[in-house]
């Protein structure tokens, strides 16, 4: 996972407004982040129901201790 994707996931886990933006307007949410086409495709397929599973599955240090449904 790239540093940019890690930053995006961390921000979406901790910032509800950014998470909503990420799920509704990906182009706007990704402004300023250098993501690969593959990472973008992963993000395009996310929704409220599968985001927590995706974030947790990355094994990111940013998601440790995160309890799905509370963030």
Kindly report the pTM of this predicted structure. 0.76
Sort 21 into a burial class: Cβ within 10 Å, 0-12 / 13-18 / 19+: middle
Query: Per-domain residue ranges for the chain?
Result: 3-57
Encode pLDDT of 11-54 as tens digits.
999 999 999 999 999 999 999 999 999 999 999 999 988 998 88
Q: Could you give the CA distance from residue 43 to residue 37 in angstroms, rounded to a whole number?
A: 10
- Looking at the predicted structure, is the pLDDT value of residue 69 above 70? no
Q: Could you give the CA distance from residue 27 to residue 14 in angstroms, rounded to a whole number?
A: 20
> What pLDDT score was predicted for residue 26?
97
């Amino acid at each position: 996972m790239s540093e940019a994707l890690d930053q995006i996931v961390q921000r979406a886990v901790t910032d509800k407004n950014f998470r909503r933006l990420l799920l509704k307007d990906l182009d706007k949410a990704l402004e300023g982040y250098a993501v690969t086409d593959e990472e973008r495709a992963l993000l395009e397929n996310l929704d409220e129901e599968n985001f927590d599973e995706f974030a947790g599955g990355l094994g990111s240090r940013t998601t440790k201790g995160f309890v799905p449904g509370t963030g």
